[in-house]
A = this chain, B = another copy of it.
């Protein structure tokens, strides 16, 4: 089983409008809702790839109930979310049909109490016993200690479970120091961590800070991976237009599924790049277009750096 952790789950709401004009009133033409937060996107993609997945983190209030109902309708993901007294946040994406661009509004997450955090830790330790790999994804809700991911990485390592960390800022800085198996920052997160905007140098620097492997996402240019076995850039055959939301989460699912299946790094990277591209071609984060996945998988360009 692969365990995904989403401490700051969300109800992702999308409003489609003909054209966004600030300070006016808009009639929404279509509304969609789905379970959100990076780790839940990763879980749904892993399940679609045929992996057994358990999703944990916090869910509370009315929106927490909706997230759990929608998750129950996602085939193959086991719900192991922990209740909290606060209310799970909503994120609102307003998609502008005229430009195709998205304007995003993210509510603050629920305030997590210290007893809730302690209960989560106990629950997480129990879940680790059955896990083959763990993904720790996204932001921390208010009240969760900034060193939370470092704690979760250490527990996973103590249990012998490889852990991938996908977060940013101080939570990433502290988490890296706890020596996760993989981190997957984007270029901005990597620059914030290392002080370097030069990706090859920055990925190598991030390894020295504690991450066993570093996979940096370069947006439409694919992935750059610095590992003990070598450094590679994996590039999709062409830039794909579409909705990039969730592309990074699909890359995480590709890397973790490859790790679980014992693939070597070049094959893991190829899968991750193809899944990312297939997610850009899907209208919804946490889903991917299977035809694009199969098509791109055969033509990812791999370069040793």
Chain A: residues with CB nearer than 8 A to chain B? 15, 17, 20, 22-29, 31, 62, 66, 92, 94, 96, 99, 101-108
Q: Does the CB pair B24–A103 fall under 8 Å?
A: yes
Q: Are B27 and A106 in contact (CB under 8 A)?
A: yes
Would B22 and A104 count as touching, CB distance under 8 A? no
Closest to A26 in B: B105
Select from chain B the residue with minimum beta-carbon distance to A15: B105
What separation, in Å, do the CA atoms of A228 and B217 have in the docked complex? 73
Question: B25–A104 contact, CB under 8 A?
Answer: yes
Contact A15–B62 (Cβ < 8 Å): no
A107: contacting residue among B15, B22, B103, B106, CB under 8 A: B15
**Would A28 and B101 be within 8 Å (CB), given that A20-B22, A22-B96, A66-B62 are in contact?**
no
Q: Do residues B104 and A24 form an inter-chain contact, with CB atoms below 8 A?
A: yes
Chain B residues with Cβ under 8 A from A108's Cβ? 27-29, 31
When distances are taken between beta carbons in the complex, the residues of chain B under 8 Å from A31 are 107-108
Q: In whole Å, how far is A97's beta carbon from the nearest beta carbon of chain B? A: 13
29 A-B contacts (beta carbon < 8 Å): A15-B105, A15-B107, A20-B22, A20-B23, A20-B103, A22-B22, A22-B96, A22-B101, A22-B103, A23-B96, A23-B99, A24-B103, A24-B104, A25-B103, A25-B104, A25-B106, A26-B103, A26-B104, A26-B106, A27-B106, A27-B108, A28-B106, A28-B107, A28-B108, A31-B108, A62-B62, A62-B66, A92-B105, A94-B105
Partner of A23, one of B24, B62, B102, B105: B102
Closest to A62 in B: B66
Q: Assess whether B105 is in contact with A28, with CB atoms less than 8 Å apart.
A: yes
Question: In the assembly, what is the distance between CA of A108 and CA of B32, in Å?
Answer: 12
Which of B22, B24, B92 makes the CB contact (< 8 A) with A92? B92
Q: How far is the CA of A99 from the CA of B24 in the complex (A)?
A: 13
A66: B residues at CB distance < 8 A:
62
A248 → B minimal CB distance (Å): 14
**Chain B contacts for A24, CB-based, 8 A:** 103-104
In whole Å, how far is A229's beta carbon from the nearest beta carbon of chain B? 36
Q: How near does chain B come to A67, taking the closest CB pair, in angstroms? A: 12
Give chain B residues whose Cβ lies under 8 Å from the Cβ of A94. 105
Report B-chain residues with C-beta under 8 Å of the C-beta of A29: 108
A106 CA / B31 CA spacing, docked (Å): 10
Interchain CA distance A99-B112 in the complex, whole Å: 33
Residues of B with C-beta under 8 A to A92: 15, 92, 105
CA distance A26 to B17 in the complex (A): 18
Bound CA span A97–B56, Å = 36
For A105, list chain B residues within 8 Å (CB): 15, 17, 26, 28, 92, 94
